[in-house]
Structure 1
């Protein structure tokens, strides 16, 4: 069973990827409810934490029912990374994760996220700074390299392990690919098969079905799988994968009532955590995902994203429940 510090994970853990503007406590709670084994906060700017920026501090909120849970930080300055690790430790997550994978331009141009893939020495210095700043286990999430001509994940994995990193999650794309094209897990398998590597290696990228999860587990020999975009609007994916791996059979698809219940809970927990007004507004981006591909749903979707009071939204959910009571998913 994979171990990260004192955290003992199930035999083949399923991890929820840290996703900006998605992996907040309400969403994590839903994924935990439906089988996620290890989850992470949205990524948090080390500079923002040190400045005591409200948005960054709010992302430090974690709850006991989420455990084990990690807080993910990013940045390009050693002192800031070390200091932010100390701040993170005060809220007592189970681990600190460093983001060396975010491909977004505004992160990369600051020499953070995937930008660090161009300078492995800097990556090592930043990681050492975080390890110095905390007694918690430190893990890393990264990509294969900057582009196809500079895939350096083999060197990165060895050097990170050598300085004390306790697990590595690898998104099987380069920074140049962003989120396009196919992920290439053969590079992850090579890292996993390296005799020197003893820390858990988790694979990430394009896992969107139980079949694919099982195939990748068997083909690439990783210690666990991290799921990101496929869990948006579909928190059931974790239990679906577990059930399929155990039995070779599919769980029944979520019914319309399952979807309504998930969307309702997500909304209620968002309002509890963010306040009613912000909770309602920030939930709007999720409705499309919960009710994807449902015939003649446009009018309800429009109402869900324009209604700005909780009671009104609950009435719409009740209406959807009645109108679509016998809806069959194909």
Structure 2
């Protein structure tokens, strides 16, 4: 049984990675419905939280049906991180996660996210500031190092565990790689097999099929897998992996009905959460992903991403069902 603090995650949990502009409540709810064991918020700027930035505050919205759920923060200033940890505690997530992995330039330039990979002492100080100011279990998501020549994940893992971090998610790339090249899980396996390490180690990077999930589980011995990009437009991946683990067989790919239902749920929940206007607008970017690979779909996609009224978008979903329900999706 894998546990973070007192939070039980089952035998081999599948975690939804925190993704900027993706991992909001409607998307998390879909992933939960399709088998994700643990969800994370989008990452939240500690400075933004303290300044009471509305966008940062809204990212603190979590709901009971999501549990266990973690809220992820990032920043490069100890005091700001400690204060934002106290703010996060007020909404009572199950876990508080720190992002030391985001490779995005605007985050790295502020000495946050993967920027901290260049300075392990700072990483330790920032993490300790958070741990000392909250009762929540604190976890960290990070990368292998800044670049090929500075892979320092072994030292990072030991030092973070020593100050009280309760689990570590490791993305198998360096900051320099961004999302290019292949994730190298051999470094993650080395951390997992280090006799000094006793906290759960979750692997992240490139797992996009049930076969790969099984291969990586067996080959690298991690405690669970965190899935990011492969879940965008395809929340079914969690249950597909679980089914494959159990039976060695693949579930049938989602039908048009399944895809329309996912898009419909996503839009419905987005409107419940943010209101009609924002709900419609913010769900648009997901439609292309839900209906990927369907031939002659352009006209419907065009409608979905241009209509401003939800009734028109829902009407388009009905048209798609009428038009494509006999199609087999690859």
Alignment TM-score, normalising by the size of structure 1 = 0.99
Q: CA offset at residue 278 of structure 1?
A: 0.8
Please give the secondary structure, in 1, of the residue aligned with 2:73. strand
CA distance in 2, matches of 1:322, 1:150: 55
Q: CA offset at residue 9 of structure 1?
A: 1.1
Structure 2 residue aligned with 1:212: 212
CA distance in 1, matches of 2:105, 2:252: 40
CA distance in 1, matches of 2:252, 2:131: 44
CA distance in 1, matches of 2:145, 2:286: 31
Alignment deviations for residues 143-194 of structure 1 (CA, whole Å, 9 cap, x no partner): 0000000000000000000000000000000000001110000000000000
Structure 1 residue aligned with 2:115: 115
CA distance in 2, matches of 1:318, 1:8: 40
Structure 2 residue aligned with 1:189: 189
Alignment deviations for residues 76-99 of structure 1 (CA, whole Å, 9 cap, x no partner): 000000000000000000010000
Runs of 4+ in 1 over 3 A off after TM superposition: none
Structure 2 residue aligned with 1:247: 247
CA distance in 1, matches of 2:328, 2:239: 21
Structure 2 residue aligned with 1:280: 280
Structure 1 residue aligned with 2:297: 297
Q: Is the 8 A contact 2:70 2:96 kept in 1?
A: yes
Q: CA offset at residue 272 of structure 1?
A: 1.0
Q: Is the 8 A contact 2:280 2:308 kept in 1?
A: yes
Q: Is the 8 A contact 2:293 2:329 kept in 1?
A: no
1:102 is aligned to 2:102: yes
CA distance in 2, matches of 1:183, 1:139: 21
Where structure 1 has 5 or more consecutive residues not aligned to the other structure, the ranges are: none
Structure 1 residue aligned with 2:56: 56
Alignment deviations for residues 241-294 of structure 1 (CA, whole Å, 9 cap, x no partner): 000000000111110000000000000111111111111111111000000010
CA distance in 2, matches of 1:168, 1:157: 7
CA distance in 2, matches of 1:217, 1:248: 14
CA distance in 1, matches of 2:321, 2:329: 14
CA distance in 2, matches of 1:123, 1:219: 29
Q: CA offset at residue 2 of structure 1?
A: 1.1
Q: CA offset at residue 329 of structure 1?
A: 2.2
Structure 2 residue aligned with 1:37: 37
RMSD: 0.5
Alignment deviations for residues 36-69 of structure 1 (CA, whole Å, 9 cap, x no partner): 0001000000000001110000000000000000
CA distance in 2, matches of 1:325, 1:184: 40
Please give the secondary structure, in 2, of the residue aligned with 1:156. helix
CA distance in 2, matches of 1:265, 1:26: 8
Structure 1 residue aligned with 2:18: 18
Please give the secondary structure, in 2, of the residue aligned with 1:241. helix
